[in-house]
Structure 1
Amino acid sequence: MSLLPLPFTVHFDPTNQELLLSGKMRPESAAEITDALKLVQQSLEKYSGVVYVNVKRLTHINMTAFAALADILAASSRIRPERKIVIITSSVVAWSTSLFQTLAASQPSLSVEVYDSAFYPGQSFVEDETFIPILRTQTKMTWRHERELLPRHGLRSGLVIADICCGIGDFAALVQREFKPARLVALDHSVRSLEYARRVAADFDLQGIEYTYGDASQMLLRDNQFDFVTCRHSLQIFNRPEMLLRELYRICKPGGRVYITNEKNSHCLGEPHAESIKWTYEEVAKLFKHFDMDVEMGPKSRHLLADAGFDNIKVDSFMVTNLDGDPQDFADIIEAWENVYAGEMAVRRGDSSDFIRRFRQGFKDHVFAALHPKGYAGWPIWAASGRKPL
């Protein structure tokens, strides 16, 4: 990762295999942007499958910078024609698409896709699924913390692992790449999510993840099969989490561990506008409870694992904040929450227009806190694991 001084930044996001260029690249000579060009070149050399070059937030580029960038992209395409480079532009920046399309026309492994959404590349594949556009960015922000915590909870290379309720497969992909398991089974009940997960794995040239369709509360997996079982942000949306925990316990080997993450949504916070934000997230917890879900489950993790029969329980908590990378990523998550919680769930519950207006304001204030140069916005997560007794 490299962060260059303003007026522009270049950053590589390994979660999405994506280079992000933003700001104004107008050097007098290519030597002024040597570090940026080096990061682009190294990122293209390191990763296989598809690498995204995201220029949606690149508002200006002069011909000196474009020529230097174009040379690297073209050379990389010639050297490794099997690896695809997708340049993501925005129609809001009028010059961008035509300029990069001209470059792509000369290289078969280069292509341009135009996106006007703040979500991850390829989001149109699952754009009709309510929660999926939120998930990729959430995982990117929580992974910064979890990759440090997971070894403490027993994850290491060479294990047989199951990721239950894997969703769009982004966490499984990160585990596969970072921890090199002997075997990794990723199970979910959503056919659309699994289709997307398989596409992501193929794009990123990840081999060996066994994507499996199934009901997490009644899995067709053998007893005592996995060294390490993960289930993230899922117990809180089951109306009977104890059923799911029994299944996680069953498929875990004696001496193995089950790792879960959950939230306490009412503790989302921000400054300025702390009171408005606090009120809204307390109402989020009540809203989920109305639909038999518990987004306050995080601190309950220890007794849930103990009640399910696990011992040697470990519990950690961490705060995802607007200081974890690009604050706009956090703002995008909050806006997605607003769309789902205030735009769909509250309406379905039958809430009044006055309530929804106040409800939405708390999310908007949270976005403001996330993007304010002196602001702070946080989202608390509990990570816990228990050992299945020998």
Structure 2
Amino acid sequence: MSTTVFSAPFNAEFDANSQEFSLAGVIRPRSVDEIAASISVLKGAIDDVRGVLYINVKRLVQMNNTAFQAFARVVLDACRARSDLRFVVVTSSVVGWTERMFKHLNRIEPRVTVEVYDSKFYPGQAFVEDTSFIPILRTQTKMTWRHERTILPRHGMRPGIVMADICCGIGDFAMLVKREFQPTRIVALDHSKASLAYARDMAASFGIADIEYTYGDASEMLLEDNQFDFVTCRHSLQIFNRPTVLLKELYRICKPGGRVYITNEKNSHCLGEPRSKSIQWTYNEVAKLFSHFDMDVELGPKSRRYLVDAGFDDILMESFMVTNLDGDPQDFADVIAAWENVYAGEMAMKRGDPPEFMERFRQGFSDHIFAALHPKGYAGWPIWAASGRKPP
């Protein structure tokens, strides 16, 4: 059950199932009377809730002092009237001013706390944001692009469209798309400031000035509804612990009749010859390791189900194998070595894996590199590409 009040350009909503009151958009009333309906929703939420009421301001673009004082007064009055009730304000580093604003309430009333949501929502974020991983990310894109440049038109990519690349990382995919397909506009959004800084530098060095690299939270984007013909989100649903939340946002910003394109992996299907048994064992363990940190690198074949459940129709799905035969085998070997450094390094250590496990785990990566570089060898990394249309 939920209650929603919408008054352009903002809305207030209460979801009784999650005990969450949400504010989004621009709230700048001249008087409290203008937001009376939203204040009423908050008061109704307080009456319904026991324990903790979450106040979600992750998509709050602006709030003036009139609005803040009105909502704050309701919260503080409720704390004084109800000893059983706590409030948790959930914000994001993307809208850091809300953290500063609402922490003022915590200084007045200890039962109002503020949580910056990013680190909790992205439990594995630090593993994939290390700047030392950037050269390998570029190599990975170079290897997958050989396949995706022919796949993308089948999924709706064409010249002249308005496109968003969500979780764009270091921005190289957006640059390749710009050169190959010439969209009229590309917004490339990511949550890593380091990656975006790199992306802007690279775009400038290649003389590409019209990609809009944007800092943002993919699960609570400050982007308007129904504005993009084509939305991409590559290798990203699999590293978030709530991919359905991201898909909901991708659906929201996509135009009716537009398409959302996603790529994801199934790591346990990475393969190699010779030494296939050792390689297979290690990548089965990679999948288990990611699962420990609430990430699903087996998501690839599940893409169709996720897209259908998110409301998309006309689902298209295909898979391709990136191999050591796609260009220089050393590129693939370098990628595998980088995987080993992260997976068998920081991740496995943080999980607390014993030395005997680590030795066998690393051996599988070494054997995969051996297969990639062997003159008669074969090494593969499978990827699923899928897209869905937002119904007109």
Q: TM-score, normalised by structure 1?
A: 0.67
Q: Residues 259, 128 of structure 1: CA spacing in aligned structure 2 closer, same or farther, 3 A cutoff?
A: closer
Matching residue of 1:183? 185
4+ aligned runs moved over 3 Å, structure 1:
none
| Structure 2 stretches lacking a partner, 5+ long | 1-127
Whole-angstrom distance in 1 between the partners of 2:229 and 2:186:
10
What is the CA-CA distance between 1:132 and the residue it aligns to? 2.5
Instruction: Look up the match of 2:115.
Output: none
Superposed CA RMSD in Å reads 1.2
Give the SS at the match of 1:218: coil
- Structure 1 residues 152 and 127, CA gap change in structure 2 (3 angstroms): closer
Query: C-alpha separation between the residues in 1 aligned to 2:363 and 2:312?
Result: 42
Measure how far apart 1:315 and its partner are. Answer: 0.2
Match for 2:222: what amino acid? L
Q: Which amino acid aligns with 1:264?
A: K
Aligned pairs for 1:1-390 (under 5 A) are 129=131, 131-390=133-392
CA distance in 1 between partners of 2:156 and 2:298 (Å): 25
CA distance 1:128–1:215, change in 2 (3 Å)? closer
Q: Are the structure 2 counterparts of residues 305 and 326 from structure 1 closer, same or farther at C-alpha, using a change threshold of 3 Å?
A: same
- Letter of the aligned partner of 1:345 in structure 2? M
Question: What is the SS of the residue equivalent to 2:381?
Answer: strand
Give the superposition deviation at 1:129. 2.3
- How much has 1:206 moved relative to structure 2? 1.1
**One-letter amino acid of the structure 1 residue matched with residue 251 of structure 2:** Y
Preserved CA contact (<8 Å) 2:165 2:232 = yes
What one-letter code is carried by the residue in structure 2 that aligns with 1:163?
A: D
2:384 and 2:360 mapped to 1: Cα distance?
28
What is the rounded CA distance, in whole Å, between the counterparts of 2:242 and 2:130 in structure 1?
27
Q: Report the identity percentage.
A: 80
- TM-score (norm. length: structure 2): 0.67
**Alpha-carbon distance, 1:128 to partner:** 5.1
In structure 1, the partner of 2:34 is: none
Which has more radius of gyration? Answer: 2
Q: Aligned residues, how many?
A: 265
Name structure 1 gaps, 5 residues minimum: 1-125
* Amino acid in structure 2 at the alignment position of 1:137: T
